[in-house]
């Protein structure tokens, strides 16, 4: 178990590493072109920027917590440890990055066994660093953040992520989206799950749902939401949202309303 003092120091150093990776990403975006794009699968894009940013992050994190293993999107290091593991998305929002849409981020979480104890999400374009550690509250650029106080879905704005390569459940997804759009202020698709979660945490949107996500997409952001006073579950209302590939994050007050719509659509 990591002491509060050591976890606080790790959080501070992780913020610095995320910002360093973000600076590299920002610089590369200035002269990036589509010739540098690779395809991991249908509509699953990657570039040297993702890979080099991940190498930088893994190298730096290895030095501040040598006993920890890694879960990484680009496979720089896939050696998992029994107790501590870093969960890294070096560039969440790669498609946005490639097309020059200014919403993408660096996401880094630290898990102690099955629990996320530290999370940092650095949104590169707005220089917004969201972060939290277990039991310590959630912050953006040193300012405490809280979820929205909206009490109903009818007073809420919802974020989501569109299916882009696995369309097996698209009809269920569209049914859920249709219902939520009719019941709320509307839906937004920003293109980065980690950013979506931080927007829930900071009260910019009241809820976020998506399926077919990976652990590195959500690990950091879920802790930030919970430490900001929000609620996170999978579509069944359980807590299998890190590895379960379904997530609903809200300000807690509208959670059951959205969950009911999702469960109807997914039935």
Parallel/antiparallel/unpaired status of strands 84-92 and 105-112: antiparallel
Do 153-266 and 4-144 have the same topology in CATH? no
Q: Which tokens in the block code for residue 113?
A: 């066994």
The DSSP result for 42-95, as a single string, is: TTEEEEHHHHHHHHHHHHHHHHH-TT-EEEESS-S-----SSEEEEEEEEETHH
pLDDT of residue 108: 98
User: What local confidence, expressed as pLDDT, does residue 59 receive?
Assistant: 97
Just give the CATH number of 4-144. Answer: 3.30.540.10
d(C-alpha 163, C-alpha 247), whole Å:
14
**91 appears as a binding residue in the annotation:** yes
Question: Has 59 been labeled as part of a binding site?
Answer: no
Q: CA 104 to CA 25: how far, in whole Å? A: 10
Query: Domain residues of the chain, as ranges?
Result: 4-144, 153-266
Cα-Cα-Cα-Cα torsion 54, 58, 59, 61, nearest 10 degrees, comes to 140
Tokens of 21: 């990776």
Provide CATH code, domain 153-266.
3.40.190.80
Residue 62: what pLDDT? 97
Per DSSP, 165 falls in state S
Give the integer Cα–Cα distance in Å for 49 and 32: 9
- pLDDT tens over the chain, length 267 residues: 889 999 999 999 999 999 999 999 999 999 887 776 776 655 455 688 889 999 999 999 999 999 999 999 888 888 899 999 999 999 999 999 999 999 999 999 999 999 999 999 999 999 999 999 999 999 999 999 999 999 999 999 999 998 877 788 899 999 999 999 999 999 999 999 999 999 999 999 999 999 999 999 999 999 999 999 999 999 999 999 999 999 999 999 999 999 999 999 988
Specify the pLDDT at position 47: 80
**What is the Cα–Cα distance from 119 to 225, expressed in whole angstroms?**
10
197: annotated binding-site residue? no
> In whole angstroms, what is the distance from residue 179 CA to residue 123 CA?
30
Query: What's the pTM value of the predicted model, to 2 decimals?
Result: 0.95
């Amino acid at each position: 178990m990591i002491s509060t003092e050591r976890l606080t120091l790790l959080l501070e150093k992780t913020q610095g590493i995320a910002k360093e990776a973000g600076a590299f990403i920002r610089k590369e975006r200035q002269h990036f072109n589509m010739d540098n794009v690779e395809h991991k699968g249908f509509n699953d894009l990657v570039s040297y920027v993702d890979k080099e940013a991940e190498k930088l992050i893994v190298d730096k994190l290895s030095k501040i917590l040598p006993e920890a293993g890694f879960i990484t999107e680009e496979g720089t290091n896939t050696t998992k440890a029994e107790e501590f593991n870093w969960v890294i998305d070096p560039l969440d929002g790669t498609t946005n990055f490639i097309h020059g849409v200014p919403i993408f981020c660096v996401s880094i979480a630290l898990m102690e066994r099955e629990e996320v104890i530290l999370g940092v999400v650095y949104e590169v374009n707005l220089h917004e660093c969201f972060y939290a550690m277990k039991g310590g509250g959630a912050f953006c650029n040193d300012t405490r953040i809280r979820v929205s106080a909206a009490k109903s879905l009818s007073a809420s704005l919802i974020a989501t992520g569109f299916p882009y390569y696995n369309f097996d459940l698209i009809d269920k997804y569209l049914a859920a989206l249709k219902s939520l759009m009719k019941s709320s202020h509307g839906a937004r698709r920003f293109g980065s799950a980690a950013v979506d979660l931080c927007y829930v945490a900071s009260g910019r949107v009241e809820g976020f749902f998506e399926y077919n996500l990976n652990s590195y997409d959500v690990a950091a952001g879920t802790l930030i939401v919970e430490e900001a006073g929000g609620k996170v579950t999978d579509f069944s209302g359980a807590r299998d949202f890190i590895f379960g590939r379904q997530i609903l994050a809200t300000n807690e007050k509208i959670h059951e309303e959205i969950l009911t719509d999702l469960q109807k659509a997914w039935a």
